[in-house]
């Protein structure tokens, strides 16, 4: 999915679809919950967009198939990566080592990035190849590389679809938030703690999205605006919300004691001691 632009000194991450999905899901998942050191949305956003797995720095260490998931054939690594990051994050967030803990934030953000990629219809098509041009290890018929050097993914159907979704997300955020609030009312919102169960769930969600045929509709130039706003985004945000809930519950960070708890207890004890005990005569 579209992950924002980045230049050397600034980036336009705020426009990224990854971020906007994360933000809506995060708000619903942990609205009134104490964070207890769980990464905040700003930290997650920072590492899931341009400075995350889609950034240039990340290219040498991740393959194209790492961002893809074909739910019809269960190939491509996006969903497996989301679960691997989930496992790493749960461990690191609980570490006593400060650096490890920080790395836990990064693992959460990476997991969210791969999850959103794995739910994106344009990432559901194609298969793995061993010898692709320029090291690409995934064949996507709507993202095949022409011979010219001026090739750019944003002019291919794959990129065009993501651009369209990003545009709808940006222009109709309010509407999408509203349709999601309604959508989740009838949904099971429990955390899924077992990683295999969570993997099954996110893969099933990808298949469900694939089965709607929204990408085929787009490819045959039909209008998909209504579906993107009312079906695709709510389904994606829902999956991300469950993932965040699971991550939060599974990492089970220790409750931080209330800052003033001891002070309040002491004052209460002192006051109690000072109150004279009054004996009330019992009337006969
Ligand atoms: Zn990606």
Q: What's the pLDDT tens digit per position in 86-120?
A: 999 999 998 888 899 889 999 999 999 999 999 99
Distance of CA 200 to the CA centre of its chain: 16
Using pLDDT thresholds of 50, 70 and 90, give the confidence band for residue 278: low
* Dihedral sign of CA atoms 249, 236, 2, 58 in order: positive
pLDDT at site 7: 47
CA separation for the pair 185, 181 (Å, rounded): 7
**How many angstroms does the Cα of residue 57 sit away from the middle of ligand 1?**
13
**How many angstroms does the Cα of residue 49 sit away from the middle of ligand 1?**
9
Residue 51, pLDDT > 90, answer no
**How many angstroms does the Cα of residue 44 sit away from the middle of ligand 1?**
15
**How many angstroms does the Cα of residue 271 sit away from the middle of ligand 1?**
60
**How many angstroms does the Cα of residue 48 sit away from the middle of ligand 1?**
9
pLDDT at site 56: 55
**Which segments of 94-232 does DSSP mark as H helices, in order?**
98-119, 157-171, 173-183, 195-211, 214-219, 225-227
**How many angstroms does the Cα of residue 67 sit away from the middle of ligand 1?**
5
**How many angstroms does the Cα of residue 114 sit away from the middle of ligand 1?**
6
Q: What is the largest CA-CA distance in the chain?
A: 106
More confident position, 235 or 157: 235
Q: Mean pLDDT over residues 171-193, rounded?
A: 94
Q: Is 97 helix (H, G, I), strand (E, B) or coil?
A: coil
State the architecture of 13-258 in CATH terms.
Orthogonal Bundle (1.10)
**How many angstroms does the Cα of residue 120 sit away from the middle of ligand 1?**
10
**How many angstroms does the Cα of residue 102 sit away from the middle of ligand 1?**
22
**Helix pair angle (78-93, 98-119), 10° resolution:** 160
From 158, 169, 53, 170, select the one nearest 110 (Cα to Cα). Answer: 53
From 184, 176, 165, 173, select the one nearest 245 (Cα to Cα). Answer: 184
**Residue 108 · residue 89 · CB < 8 Å:** yes
**How many angstroms does the Cα of residue 110 sit away from the middle of ligand 1?**
9
**How many angstroms does the Cα of residue 66 sit away from the middle of ligand 1?**
8
**How many angstroms does the Cα of residue 36 sit away from the middle of ligand 1?**
29
* Average pLDDT across the chain, whole number: 84
Which element (helix H / strand E) includes 128? strand 127-128
CA separation for the pair 64, 102 (Å, rounded): 26
Predicted TM-score (pTM) of the model is 0.82
**How many angstroms does the Cα of residue 99 sit away from the middle of ligand 1?**
25
- Token look-up 């389904």 returns 235
**How many angstroms does the Cα of residue 6 sit away from the middle of ligand 1?**
14
**How many angstroms does the Cα of residue 270 sit away from the middle of ligand 1?**
59
Q: Mean pLDDT over residues 215-244, rounded?
A: 96
**How many angstroms does the Cα of residue 183 sit away from the middle of ligand 1?**
26
Residue 177, pLDDT > 80, answer yes
pLDDT at site 8: 45
More confident position, 283 or 129: 129
Q: Mean pLDDT over residues 178-197, rounded?
A: 94
């Amino acid at each position: 999915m579209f992950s924002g632009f980045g230049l050397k000194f600034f980036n336009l991450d705020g426009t990224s679809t990854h971020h906007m999905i994360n933000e809506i899901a995060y708000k619903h998942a942990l609205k009134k919950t104490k964070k207890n050191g769980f990464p905040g949305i700003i930290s997650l956003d920072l590492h899931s967009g341009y400075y995350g797995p889609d950034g240039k720095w990340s290219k040498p260490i991740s393959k194209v198939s790492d961002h893809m998931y074909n739910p019809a054939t269960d190939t491509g690594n996006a969903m497996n990566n989301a679960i691997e990051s989930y496992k790493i994050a749960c461990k690191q967030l609980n570490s006593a080592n400060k650096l490890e803990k920080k790395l836990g934030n990064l693992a959460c953000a990476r997991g969210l990035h791969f999850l959103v990629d794995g739910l994106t219809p344009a990432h559901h098509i194609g298969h793995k190849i061993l010898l692709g041009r320029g090291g690409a290890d995934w064949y996507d018929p709507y993202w095949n590389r022409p011979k010219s050097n001026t090739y750019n993914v944003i002019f291919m159907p794959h990129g065009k679809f993501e651009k369209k979704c990003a545009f709808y997300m940006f222009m109709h955020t309010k509407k999408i938030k509203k349709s999601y609030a309604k959508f989740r009312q009838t949904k099971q919102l429990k955390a899924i703690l077992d990683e295999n169960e969570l993997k099954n769930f996110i893969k099933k969600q990808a298949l469900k999205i694939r089965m709607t045929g929204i990408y085929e509709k787009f490819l045959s130039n039909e209008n998909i605006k209504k579906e993107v706003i009312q079906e695709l985004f709510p389904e994606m945000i829902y999956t991300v919300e469950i993932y965040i809930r699971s991550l939060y519950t599974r990492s089970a960070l220790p409750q931080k004691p209330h800052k003033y708890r001891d002070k309040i207890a002491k004052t209460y004890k002192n006051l109690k001691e000072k109150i004279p005990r009054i004996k009330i005569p019992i009337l006969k």
